[in-house]
Amino acid sequence: MTTVDEIGDGIFRVHTPVAPAAGTAGFSYNQYLLLDDEPLLFHTGSRRLFEEVSRAIERVLPLARLRHLAFSHWEQDECGALDPFLAHAPQARPLCSRINAMINRDGMSREPRAMADGEELSLGRRRVRWFETPHLPHGWESGLLFEQTTATLFCGDLFTQPGTGDQPLVETDILGPSESLRGQLDYFAHGPAQRALVERLAVTAPRVLACMHGHAWAGDGAALLRELALVI
């Protein structure tokens, strides 16, 4: 059921829907693949989904070419399949926040690259910038990644949408569905700095929000992030 679609220049959404159960709209899990001299995968998905997700990625490039396995925080759907990916990509390293590298190092089979807040990394023709986002939306060790050439923000669990997220990239409202879900199951940590952290992300003026659950979104990302800041 996993599909792979290009949502930007050399950026692919790897998408696994979960069929609706009784009384639900279903759900979905996304990983994002960045092609470059040093290919990067943002989120690995859970260990249970590794075989299906890895087959989808290999429609685009061999796993052995991966160099960076980035993830926002330490949770099964973010990095549960980290070790299987490392086993198939001998030159790849985990990429995460300094806090994540400190507190979860023993859970990684290879030394991680710990990114400082604001640190940039060249993948070849494109550069990515790391943002520390503690407790946004959850996890002390949380961080997010911004790709500068396409102005794509890999925003993790922000704007989590219900449903199977079948459309790779939309320009329709995602904040409404996301807030409706959060009203039923509030996954935000509600830390004191959340609005300030969202504003730091808004300043990057993203044109694409690469959401982990649901559709990716294209439009005025700064405006949408500031709308989010008003309701969290």
Q: Is the dihedral of CA 156, 232, 163, 218 positive or negative?
A: negative
Chain segment 176-193, per-residue pLDDT in tens:
999 999 999 999 999 999
Q: Output the six-digit token pair for 207.
A: 């044109």
Chain segment 32-88, per-residue pLDDT in tens:
999 999 999 999 999 999 999 999 999 999 999 999 999 999 999 999 999 999 999
Instruction: Check residues 90 and 20 and name the one with the higher pLDDT.
Output: 90
Is a pLDDT exceeding 80 seen at residue 194? yes
Residues 6+ apart with CB under 8 A from 23: none
Buried b (16+ CB within 10 A) or exposed e, 208-222: bbbbbbbbbbbbebb
Domain at 3-231, CATH homologous superfamily: Ribonuclease Z/Hydroxyacylglutathione hydrolase-like (3.60.15.10)
The band of 20, judged by pLDDT with boundaries at 50, 70 and 90, is confident
Q: What is the pLDDT of residue 1?
A: 87
The band of 24, judged by pLDDT with boundaries at 50, 70 and 90, is confident
Is a pLDDT exceeding 70 seen at residue 160? yes
Average of per-residue pLDDT across 166-172: 97
Locate the domains of the chain by residue range: 3-231
Its pTM surpasses 0.95 = yes
The band of 23, judged by pLDDT with boundaries at 50, 70 and 90, is low
Share of the chain above pLDDT 90, in %: 97
